[in-house]
Amino acid sequence: MALTRIGLAGLAVMGQNLALNIAEKGFPISVYNRSASKIDETIERAKLEGNLPVYGFSDPQAFVKSIRKPRAIIMLVKAGAPVDQTISTFSPFLEAGDCIIDGGNEWYENTERREKEMSELGILYLGMGVSGGEEGARHGPSLMPGGSFQAYEYIKDIVLKVAAQVPDSGPCVTYVGPGGSGNFVKMVHNGIEYGDMQLIAEAYDVLRSVGRLSNDELHQVFSEWNKGELLSFLVEITADIFTVKDEKTGGYLVDKVLDKTGMKGTGKWTVQQAADLSIAAPTIEASLDSRFLSGLKEERVEASKVFKAGGLDDILNSHPVDKSKLVDDVRKALYASKICSYAQGMNLIRAKSIQKGWDLQLGELARIWKGGCIIRAIFLDRIKKAYDRNPNLANLLVDPEFANEIIDRHAAWRRVICLAVNAGVSTPGMSASLAYFDSYRRDRLPANLVQAQRDYFGAHTYERTDSDGAFHTEWFKIATLARI
């Protein structure tokens, strides 16, 4: 056989589908997996899906030698040690100028370490975020490559065709920046995704628990929402979920799904990075806390018995509502909350970019998220335009267009949260978003009292509104004298 254009190692769901996507776009590809059955499965799929030019190898050396120089190998294996093991498997057969691309959800510092290690061997390295799940990998994902620009140039012709294509803005891929920037951006993308999913779940909970909407009604509501400002992949699939029946009971499957959310770790990393960089990300943090609380299923069941005996269940039944009004209010609350979630994510990316000197372009990131990825949504185009208007925009909330939209929706936002609180239905994401907005828009916060407390017990000093410099007051002595 002739030499292939690129190689891909790791043939689980994402790897298989991305390999087939690459082959379908006209690039012969070599594939490798430790398990021979996965190789056979991929080759069989390639035949069934159009005799695609996919060639399987179980021997690492033969796999590497089958790729034309300079070789490019994409790894889609589990993050952490498996990545290092895969690199060790191939590196003895690679030559100076070849490149490795890690397409997994890797911690960005691991990518930077590996890029340095590979550079000592003359091998180029990329960390490339891949978003879109199984369907995205097969038919067009959003790709976020960062690291060696030379390595990106090797695969640019491939990724431009493989990525999702958006008619008005092109392929959903760009060279993100140096070092681990591609992985970092993908991590924050996933953090925004956590927030988005939590906010949609809260909208569902309020409509179902307070508004008493049926699954049929919920399907209609989310389908309608997906035609307007909330048009997005996550709203679209949510509408679909409410139509699926359970084969065992004949009822709706969503009602039989255990209310216990799993996670892979990128959301936690996002919150940890926000704390390290002193960037407020309360919506994303609330979504992570909600997943932690969902995991306490047995404890929650027992707690529900304790507080049911205390009459707390009755408060939910004492709030009759106008369904159509509630649906409209929840739509507005969801939209406003989503703006806050995206604003927090963008601020986190910008802060890291400044710290690391990456020079990341926030508008360009919004562009490549418009298609293929899990958080793709119609309003990402407006986020891009906001950063095009002002690349130094301090926060999406103060972009004139978004500011006006929040002003128009904040009353409904507050009504939904008050209704939920009074009915005993938790809305941590929406509440955190509103608190973020209300804190950000105020010219004076009660932080003056907190700082006075810190100075009182720890002599941490404080600044004054009317003078420059740091000040310390003997609060205890003065207060004691005042009591005499």
Pair of tokens at residue 107: 């911690």
- What φ, ψ does residue 32 adopt, rounded to 5°? -140, 145
Q: Is 181 annotated as a binding residue?
A: no
Consult the annotation and say whether 291 binds a ligand.
Answer: yes
User: Do the annotations mark residue 194 as ligand-binding?
Assistant: yes
Tokens 């509103």 -> residue: 434
- 190 carries a ligand binding annotation: yes
Query: Do the annotations mark residue 122 as ligand-binding?
Result: no
> Does 113 show up as a binding residue in the annotation?
no
Cβ atoms of 113 and 146 closer than 8 Å: no
363 annotated as belonging to a binding site for a ligand: no
Q: HSE on the CB side for 244, CA within 13 Å? A: 11
114 is in an annotated binding site: no
Q: Judge whether 186 counts as a catalytic residue.
A: yes
Q: Which of 186, 352, 370, 384 does the annotation list as catalytic?
A: 186
131 appears as a binding residue in the annotation: yes
173 annotated binding-site participant: no
Q: Among 106, 193, 202, 405, which one carries the catalytic annotation?
A: 193
Q: Is 132 annotated as a binding-site member?
A: yes
Residues in the chain: 484
User: How far, in whole angstroms, is CA 465 from its chain's centroid?
Assistant: 39
Structure tokens at 110: 């691991």
Which helix (DSSP H) or strand (DSSP E) does residue 131 occupy?
Answer: strand 124-131
Question: What is the Cα 296 distance to its own chain's centre?
Answer: 24
212 has binding-site annotation: no
Cα–Cα distance measured from residue 484 to residue 59, given in angstroms and rounded to the nearest whole number: 87
Known binding residue 17? Answer is no
Whether 410 has a binding-site annotation, put simply, is no
Q: What is the DSSP letter of 127?
A: E
189 is in an annotated binding site: yes
For 49-102, the DSSP string reads TT---EEEESSHHHHHHTBPSSPEEEE---SSHHHHHHHHHHGGG--TT-EEEE
Q: Are 77 and 106 in contact (CB under 8 A)?
A: no
- 11 annotated among ligand-binding-site residues: yes
Numbers of helices and strands, H then E, in the chain: 20, 9
**In Å, what is the CA distance from 2 to each residue of 29, 139, 158, 346?**
11, 26, 18, 45
**Which residues are annotated as part of the binding site for substrate?**
105, 131-133, 189-190, 194, 264, 291, 454, 460
**Which residues are annotated as part of the binding site for NADP(+)?**
10-15, 33-35, 77-79, 105
List, by residue number, the catalytic residues.
186, 193
**Which residues are annotated as part of the binding site?**
10-15, 33-35, 77-79, 105, 131-133, 189-190, 194, 264, 291, 454, 460
